[in-house]
């Protein structure tokens, strides 16, 4: 191959790789099926969403804050965690929150077989129903990553991909004050906020920020809803 053809070939391969990378990580786009990263902007409503639920030791602290503040939120459940802590999952459902599917094993859905994708989604849905939840089940991909196989499966089963457009703990100092300030600065009509409040020490600041985020959003006039309510 001539050197200039080689260079063109390399440039095309690099552009394709960059394109695939952007597609796989896109917050508000996937090739097929329904994806949302926020709700309509005509109402002052915001959905709080929590990933990687449940946890035996920390979900109850989050439930207590939500109960005290009278807020319904959306918990994206990991199948493995529910299998390990079924009662923690039942307590989330019993408190009237929305439960979403966040995969069984929390591995990336890239270059996976159809059987892997089906198992990860269906086994987790089965556990969500076993926890006593009867509402709609949306899906949030682990690490937000999706290419073709996952959206194709979700589209065939009429499952909506729910991403987010506010992640206040990202690139913030790990303090409740900084996370709260970021959440309030990013607030807008229809926002879907992502928090990770369940891991023990690394997520402590997100747990501590939660009541302040709720109070601050309400002071700005927002109503807090589940994802399904936000999308109505
Ligand atoms: Zn996750």
Please write the tens of the pLDDT for every residue from 1-10. Answer: 666 888 888 8
Domain ranges within the chain, ordered by starting residue: 28-231
Beta strands in the chain (DSSP E): 35-36, 45-53, 74-77, 98-101, 161-162, 192-195, 223-225
Q: What is the DSSP letter of 222?
A: P
Q: What percent of the chain has pLDDT over 90?
A: 80
| Residue 18, pLDDT score | 80
The pLDDT, as a whole number, for residue 201 is 87
Looking at the domain 28-231, which fold is it?
TIM Barrel (3.20.20)
Question: What confidence category does residue 100 fall into, taking pLDDT thresholds of 50, 70 and 90?
Answer: very high
Strand partners, 75: 50, 99
Q: Residue 107: what pLDDT?
A: 96
Options 51, 52, 102, 123, the catalytic residue: 51
Q: Is 52 a catalytic residue?
A: no
Is 201 known to be catalytic?
A: no
Instruction: Give the Cα separation of 121 and 84 in Å (integer).
Output: 17
Question: Which listed residue (85, 106, 196, 212) is catalytic?
Answer: 196
Bigger pLDDT: 48 vs 5: 48
pLDDT at residue 29 in the model: 85
Residue 143 tokens read as 């690490």
Lowest mean pLDDT of 13-22, 71-80, 176-185, 190-199, name the range.
13-22
Q: What does the alpha-carbon distance between residue 139 and residue 119 come to, in Å, rounded to a whole number? A: 14
Tokens of 113: 């077989």
Q: How far is the CA of 50 from the centre of ligand 1 (A)?
A: 9
Among 17-31, 109-123, 135-149, whose mean pLDDT is lowest? 17-31
Q: What is the 77 CA–ligand 1 centroid distance (Å)?
A: 9
- The pLDDT-based confidence of 103 (bands split at 50, 70, 90) is very high
Lowest mean pLDDT among 117-126, 140-149, 160-169, 186-195: 140-149
CB 53 within 8 A of CB 207: no
pLDDT of amino acid 1: 60
User: What is the model's pLDDT at position 172?
Assistant: 77
d(CA 227, CA 22): 25
Which one, of 170, 203, 158, lies nearest residue 59 by Cα?
Answer: 203
What is the pLDDT averaged over residues 181-208?
95
Identify the burial level of 32 via C-beta atoms within 10 angstroms of its C-beta, where 0-12 means exposed, 13-18 middle and 19 or more buried. exposed
């Amino acid at each position: 191959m001539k050197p200039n053809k080689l260079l063109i070939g390399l440039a095309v391969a690099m552009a394709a790789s960059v394109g695939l990378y952007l597609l796989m990580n896109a917050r508000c786009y996937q090739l097929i099926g329904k994806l949302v990263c926020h709700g309509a902007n005509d109402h002052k409503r915001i959905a709080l969403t929590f990933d990687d639920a449940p946890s035996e030791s920390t979900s109850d602290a989050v439930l207590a804050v939500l109960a005290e503040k009278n807020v319904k939120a959306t918990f994206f459940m990991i199948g493995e965690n529910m299998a390990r802590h079924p009662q923690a999952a039942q307590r989330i459902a019993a408190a009237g929150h929305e439960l979403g599917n966040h995969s069984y094993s929390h591995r990336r859905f890239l270059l996976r077989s159809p059987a892997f994708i089906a198992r990860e989604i269906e086994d987790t849905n089965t556990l969500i129903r076993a926890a006593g939840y009867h509402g709609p089940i949306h899906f949030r991909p682990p690490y937000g990553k999706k290419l073709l196989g996952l959206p194709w499966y979700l589209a065939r089963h009429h499952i909506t991909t729910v991403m987010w457009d506010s992640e206040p703990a990202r690139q913030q100092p790990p303090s409740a004050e900084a996370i709260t300030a970021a959440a309030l600065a990013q607030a807008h009509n229809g926002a879907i906020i992502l928090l990770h409040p369940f891991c023990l020490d690394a997520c402590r600041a997100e747990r501590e920020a939660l009541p302040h985020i709720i109070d601050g959003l309400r002071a700005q006039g927002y109503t807090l809803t589940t994802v399904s309510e936000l999308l109505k």
